[in-house]
Amino acid sequence: MGTQERKEREREALRELIIQTALVIVETEGLESLTMRAIADRIEYSQSKIYAFFPSKDALCAVLCQDNCEKMLEILKKVPLTDSPEKDLKKLVLKTMEFHASHPHSDELLTEVCFGKKPQEIPKAFLEIEKLFIAALTKLKSPHIRSNEDLQAALDIIRCIFIGVSSLMRAKVSKEGHKRGLLMAENTLDVLLRGWNHE
């Protein structure tokens, strides 16, 4: 292996270490605890080394968010679809909730990147996830979801379910509490689906 190739590998390994360390901080301590100094202290490098890869915390958060969205997209792509658009939509929502439950603060990170004070470019994987939900909503053939505006409103309602239930799950709750959170999401969806399918 040549010197240049070795340096490139070392550089990529350090970049990945920074990303993984940042994810651990976010998942264990929350987004507010993520600072370049906190990462530097954990990996025993100077902050300037971290800034060489990521010019700001916002830039780092955008990468973390993309990473989470890619993981979630892979999970959602594997959801087996049925002949029932209602069941398919519920499966997508519940799998998303399970992802957020197993990746604490991922919803907070997504909100910060897409809707925060300094919104970043929306991750491509997130847009692909939205397409899965749009396809499921379209298959409902609801008389209340006909236009693009109706679809966006339906997506916003689903996002509110994610954010609300994820906020509850983010608290240090028991396994029973997590189950209750998922049940809340499922019950809310049942009510929504009845409304969306009602003439």
**Packed helices 85-102 and 175-197: angle between N→C axes, nearest 10 degrees:** 150
**pLDDT (0 to 100) of residue 182:** 82
Most confident segment among 45-54, 108-117, 158-167, 175-184: 45-54
Question: What separation, in Å, do the N-terminal and C-terminal C-alpha atoms of the chain show?
Answer: 68
Other Cβ atoms within 10 Å of 145 Cβ, number: 20
pLDDT of residue 170 exceeding 70, the answer is no
Chain-centre distance for alpha carbon 180: 20
pLDDT of residue 138 exceeding 90, the answer is yes
Q: State pTM to two decimals.
A: 0.84
Are the beta carbons of 34 and 56 closer than 8 angstroms? no
**Domains of the chain with bracketed CATH:** 1-55 (1.10.10.60), 63-197 (1.10.357.10)
Helix (H) or strand (E) holding 101: helix 85-102
